[in-house]
Structure 1
């Protein structure tokens, strides 16, 4: 029995985000029927289609015909989940909106994953990742050399939307086990953008300056070597940074240069330019310094690290031959995910019997994960953020830190958003009394999360076998860098190391220098996948009565968030490549400056090309769609836009049938009425740091609302309250505090 075995999903979505969400559920044995229009999925020719739609049966239905709609409604009547990604107007026109379908089918999970929002003019745009990021301010948050937006080669926001969608559907199914009721669930592109690039701003905290493509901090930066090759130095923590100086025989100047970022950066740039990359990597790794070479994703996916981690699968396609793709991104020990096959066309939908009546009476309105207790030992981003995502769904999450604190802890907006909604417990697990308390808490907990380096939790006596002996229903999720098998498993790792080795940096830089993604892609991906995997394991526990161990890694997510790019077969088309401060993919698919800001064009057909030509007086046609991003046509368009007002130009382009949007700077995006119209943003107040504004939630539920109920805790802020809630008597709590096994802030 696997997590979603027996769950029937009617997937009406196209492209990437919706199909990928259904893929993640299908990997856990949900039966997925994908409904496509007579022309097929709009991205049927993209290599990623084979992965986004694996484990699915594909049926063709024309929803604009009476027969097609009748067949679709029959399929929905027998489904547990109906998944859509239509724009708001089409949902309403077809009568497939959540209110209508859940009224007709009270047990149905109606999942809507629109590419933008659910309200307002921008929500009707055709799906383009570049337009979504433009509207949410992401292109101005990516590190750049010039003051301009940057087009991201990877569709990061849609990957996050996909994983959030799978998580929300799983949470709604889990809640249905409790209440007997379905509901409407919405995970929009805005939710995906918020998860990967959280839109948070504190009124009293100065935001960090925009970064530069190699990375501004010398300890966490790209370096070019004597042979022209690049590597990333990933010494985020001081102990690793010190080891790097010792490897370079510069330990005597470490204390001085640690405080002099500019001086250290210039010195290290000069040093690393003196020898070939492989020599530096060998020296640094011998001193346990986290570092990684920059290389193409194709070599990474085909290479030994991915193979040793068990993350490469090969399936046979009747026409294409062997097709390689990544394995599922997390391993569940008792109910593992499985890829059974490539998309399989079928002549007609299955005859699913209509679902019977659901439980009567008042349906509970508690959040989907209400009552689930999570003990989170995770730090930095991947582990910590996973807890916040579960808290957003209603779980009671306890962030456990030792006296040294989460090394990422600060009053900066990143730490605050990645740890919002949880309670803080100060517990020194190096002390036997603290470990005893932790294991007592495990007895009544549901989930434990950690991102310790391989072997650490067993040395602390809190590995999965120890937890299971205490509580057979516990779900233990452990995150590391390279997985838990092979010679790389014990190595330290950080997000940019996967960006470097996994090909993200090289792809964004294209034929120019590699570029560090300012978004911690693999960290935010891992957090989302951990939350989704925990929800899958909770669903499995309903069926089996037992918990299990989950293992995931940054490596796995470097593949998942490049899923469409790493699918490989003979003769596959090349992937998109970026460039220095990349503005787009083609002359008619890129960002352009106007007199008072920037606009985004996303033309894919002749009609749109002619529309741009009409508005700008250039006389364009289908042949111009192939013009390069930096060629003659791009210069002509730039000249035509130079003196025009941004918003009036966007209006004219939209009226001419062109997919276009303003490219907003981050502050402008936070104040955009459209985001507030969609209920995307919300003000809140931190008791110590003051007023803030950030994303309201990462998914919306019609009957069991999700969202944050607590601000980010200070170190050990809730220690007394948490220990009391877990049954410790007051004298014992005070004894633990007195011995330093537990602690609170502010100090006693």
Structure 2
């Protein structure tokens, strides 16, 4: 049994994001038919194609052939979900296809515009490189010399597809209540703000952060270090408790006591303090071997790990233990080793059962039977497709609370369950705790566990980010909760997954970046490079939301709850899935370098007289692109990168963009975050929300994450104070006021006030 058994999906998208979205649906049993056009798919030669299209069927539809369009119209009439890429609509295939979509009231149409709905500044289709440029990510990455930095994998496209899949499943959940479909639009900008939530949560009047801080980033104790034996490691000392603990263990008490820090360790990341603090720490690490430093740091309870290559990680016991290294027999590629399914439903698991189909492999199959008409069903208009569902979120730090924000954005009632002292990262985690209410409970006591059980009786989903085994010790694991609520779906996020020999280890994004090969691949033969984005955290947040919703949808169909889980380790493989793919004859995966601008001269960033721009030729032959550039007089007949660099360096960004547009080359200005936040188009689209701080200033935060045609939640969200809603939430489940007073008096629960609305010092 699979979670999406019986769900029919037509994939009419192109690029990467759409296929990744339908990959997730196919992995969990949906019947996904990939509709290919008569022209070759530009992505077909990429090794990632073997992953993105696994478990699917392929049918070629030629719009010039009436019979093909009849088949497509009939298939749309029988589909549950149709996925459309940038610039495409059902009407593009013909009036009969569009009419079939309108008549199928069950149909969920998922649209994935490359930028905003209707257009992209570069005038073309999906482009990770240009989206990162226009959205400020390229200019926000820490580096040696500054400027626009290219990522090693198209992670924005991956997150776009992941989040689109999550929204599609949310719409399926809503359909179990309303019986009606709707149109869901997830844009490239939605993916951009989702990935860059911390970068865009800032004051619009603040200067852009200095990026020339080196490839290790701007936090002196949350980064990678070179040890005395020439080996690299990463540590995750983030937050006052861990930061102070590390400094004291290294004999650097003087840093804490220095008047420039004055006991507030967050001040170490300030530009005026980072250089001298960093020098002291680097000297301390260089005085010992990596093994010695790993032993010391692990001994004081701080997450840490060695620097690995991608190949070492993919072959590791950790990755194999969580099912993220699988093999399939591909008729075109032979034996293909690829990443497995990065999320786990224990009762209705997903799996890789079939290789990617050859183009047109399933031509001639019959269309699905048409969906029955529903003339008497009244539309349901609610604020979010998950309106009416309750989630208990026990996450701390970044990834798990962020998953709560995402479910709240989709309309769920999300309750943040915190310890009496609060989430230890709640100050730095201000922006990821939005949209929830807070109840504080001491879960180490029997009385606290009893309170939690009463809350769980009213919940649909319980989310946690504790190490495996901790929930059981607290008597709030799936077995305990399902005894009081058999329909409960639990979701657990851990660093290294469930069941493997490393499952007990604590882990954080920065350490996973190092262990998974992300850093070493990005740095190449130079020093490793850490991603300024908390990339494993933000993607794992969406993964957590997706796996929980898959469990919820299946429960809506079967009536049974189940336990689900995911991990930062699995996410790290997903985010490098094209680089991880192996088969005989595949091109070698790209590696980067210090201040990496791009692996190919036609897919790279360049510096002009007054700024940076990116170009991305991805829809036609590279030779044809060179000929266009030469014909337009942009370049001569020398090496393409050298010619482009010289030509662009002699022009302003505006003039260079005009010259490239004249040659038909997709290109865009690489903007700083401050420019992005002031973009009137993005403000109009609610990409950002503006809110007042308690000190009278204002700041901006990520805004709308998706658009639902019938069930749209609107408006900004705020985080709760620790225990701010303890009294009303307990009253709502029948706890008498006198009993609440007793629980507070004995410190079983805590009732607090509102949060202080103020953004913290950025740690990345």
Say how many residue pairs are matched: 733
1:81 alignment partner in structure 2 = 81
Deviation at 1:549, TM superposition (A): 0.6
Matched, 1:698 2:714: no
1:432 alignment partner in structure 2 = 446
1:501 alignment partner in structure 2 = 515
1:9 alignment partner in structure 2 = 9
1:54 and 1:341 in contact (8 A); partners too: yes
Deviation at 1:292, TM superposition (A): 1.3
Cα pair distance change 1:733/1:289, threshold 3 Å: closer
In 2, the alpha carbon distance for the partners of 1:252 and 1:684 equals: 38
In 2, the alpha carbon distance for the partners of 1:232 and 1:369 equals: 39
Deviation at 1:221, TM superposition (A): 1.6
Indicate which of 687, 697, 702 corresponds to 1:680.
Answer: 687
Cα pair distance change 1:239/1:417, threshold 3 Å: closer
Map 1:314-325 onto structure 2 (within 5 A): 314-325=327-338
Deviation at 1:254, TM superposition (A): 7.9
Which secondary structure does the structure 1 equivalent of 2:599 belong to?
strand
1:607 and 1:657 in contact (8 A); partners too: no
Cα pair distance change 1:285/1:710, threshold 3 Å: closer
1:529 alignment partner in structure 2 = 543
Map 1:163-178 onto structure 2 (within 5 A): 163-178=162-177
1:179 and 1:359 in contact (8 A); partners too: no
Deviation at 1:247, TM superposition (A): 6.0
2:53 alignment partner in structure 1 = 53
Structure 1 stretch 470-479 or stretch 118-127: which is displaced more?
Answer: 118-127
Map 1:140-179 onto structure 2 (within 5 A): 140-179=139-178
Deviation at 1:41, TM superposition (A): 2.6
In 2, the alpha carbon distance for the partners of 1:555 and 1:300 equals: 9
Structure 1 stretch 90-99 or stretch 559-568: which is displaced more?
Answer: 90-99
2:236 alignment partner in structure 1 = 234
Q: Residue deviations 1:102-153, cap 9 Å, x none?
A: 4232211111112222134527413221011111111112112223111111
Map 1:311-710 onto structure 2 (within 5 A): 311-344=324-357, 345-358=361-374, 360-366=376-382, 367-410=384-427, 415-604=429-618, 605-615=622-632, 617-619=634-636, 633-685=640-692, 691-707=698-714, 710=717
Deviation at 1:99, TM superposition (A): 8.2
Deviation at 1:374, TM superposition (A): 0.6
2:762 alignment partner in structure 1 = none
Deviation at 1:14, TM superposition (A): 2.4
Q: Residue deviations 1:337-364, cap 9 Å, x none?
A: 1211112322334321111112524200
Indicate which of 705, 708, 727 corresponds to 2:734.
Answer: 727
1:213 alignment partner in structure 2 = 215
Structure 1 stretch 369-378 or stretch 124-133: which is displaced more?
Answer: 124-133
In 2, the alpha carbon distance for the partners of 1:91 and 1:115 equals: 17
In 1, the alpha carbon distance for the partners of 2:617 and 2:483 equals: 59
In 2, the alpha carbon distance for the partners of 1:58 and 1:72 equals: 12
2:201 alignment partner in structure 1 = 200
Deviation at 1:475, TM superposition (A): 0.9
Matched, 1:737 2:754: no
Which secondary structure does the structure 2 equivalent of 1:610 belong to?
helix
Cα pair distance change 1:619/1:549, threshold 3 Å: same
In 2, the alpha carbon distance for the partners of 1:282 and 1:733 equals: 45
What is the CA RMSD across the aligned residues, in angstroms? 2.7
Q: Residue deviations 1:192-228, cap 9 Å, x none?
A: 1111112333458787654542133232121112343
Deviation at 1:388, TM superposition (A): 0.4
In 1, the alpha carbon distance for the partners of 2:737 and 2:375 equals: 42
1:630 alignment partner in structure 2 = none
Q: What runs of 5+ residues in structure 1 fail to find an aligned partner?
A: 628-632
Q: What runs of 5+ residues in structure 2 fail to find an aligned partner?
A: 269-273, 756-764
Deviation at 1:237, TM superposition (A): 4.4
Structure 1 stretch 222-231 or stretch 127-136: which is displaced more?
Answer: 222-231
Structure 1 stretch 610-619 or stretch 228-237: which is displaced more?
Answer: 610-619
Deviation at 1:674, TM superposition (A): 3.3
Which secondary structure does the structure 1 equivalent of 2:121 belong to?
helix
TM-score normalised by length of structure 2: 0.90
Deviation at 1:498, TM superposition (A): 1.2
TM-score normalised by length of structure 1: 0.92
Which secondary structure does the structure 1 equivalent of 2:79 belong to?
coil
In 2, the alpha carbon distance for the partners of 1:317 and 1:273 equals: 47
